[in-house]
Copies of this chain bind each other. A is one copy, B any other.
Amino acid sequence: MITAGIDVGSVSTKVVLLVDNEIKYLVRPTGWSPRDAGEQTYHELLAQVGCKPENVAYRVGTGYGRISLGFIDKAVTEIHCHARGANYLVGRGGLVIDIGGQDSKAILINQQGKVIDFTMNDKCAAGTGRFLQVMAAALGVDVSELADLAAGRNPLEINSMCTVFAESEVISLLAKGADKRDIIAGIHRSVARRVWGMASRFMPAEQVIFTGGVARNHHIKDQLAREAGVPVIVPELSQVAGALGAALYARELAEKC
């Protein structure tokens, strides 16, 4: 059986095709039209895999753009899809922390991937991928370089949590001759602290399962582990956890049909 999960995030669109137990996936920028991004990424992946649309048994949409998708059979909230996908990837429960391009979530899940409790932030750019983008632009580096630049450096104190005020601090640190790499380490710690400030209420948990686009930043992973004091696991397909969860829901729903 083939089922599909389409996760249209504010920054990137992730599609997973679950071909029996094999995971095929594709990630594309969302751009201006969530509807087009969802549909095009879905059809591009179908073509890559060599699967006809009519052979997909069920399609579940998730993410902030799910409401604009016309071709899905059902929409499921990000929280449930992320929990399901993260649980599948690591095979156990824990505290899922997802940091995306414009939001962050903390979801406590049990061993079966059921949501026990959750919280999310999509109102404030601090503690999201956007914070990193703003800082990278201020420092004249690419977001993808940040982790390597910061590795092993001494994090400088960034006092403001607010993206706007923190950006001014970063510019002022640069003007004072501070080391760019120490500044970046400080920026990463700020993200980890901000997110941990939201997530720590769900402790104790045996481990943190770190997902979302920002989970590819290994230095933030390390800073998060420092805050959490428990192991932080980044599953290999962490960026598509939500889309995978949606495809798993799709399979369950298709089986019920």
A193 within 8 A of B: no
18 A–B contacts from the bound complex (CB under 8 Å): A32-B172, A102-B165, A123-B160, A123-B161, A123-B162, A124-B124, A124-B162, A125-B162, A125-B163, A125-B164, A125-B165, A130-B164, A130-B165, A131-B164, A134-B164, A163-B163, A163-B164, A164-B164
Cβ contacts under 8 Å, A164 to chain B: 125, 130-131, 134, 163-164
Residue-wise interface mask of A (147-173) relative to B, using a CB-CB cutoff of 8 A (1 in contact, 0 not): 000000000000011111100000010
- How many whole Å from A64's CB to the nearest CB in chain B? 12
Please state the number of chain copies in the assembly.
2
A124→B162 CA distance, assembly (Å): 6
- Classify chain A: how many residues form its interface, as a range: 10 to 19
CB within 8 Å of B: which residues of A? Answer: 32, 102, 123-125, 130-131, 134, 160-165, 172
Cβ contacts under 8 Å, A160 to chain B: 123
A160→B124 CA distance, assembly (Å): 9
Cβ contacts under 8 Å, A131 to chain B: 164
Cβ contacts under 8 Å, A165 to chain B: 102, 125, 130
A172→B10 CA distance, assembly (Å): 14
Q: 6 smallest A-B Cβ distances: which pairs?
A: A125-B164, A163-B164, A124-B162, A125-B162, A130-B164, A125-B165
Chain B CB count within 10 A is highest, among A134, A163, A165, for A165
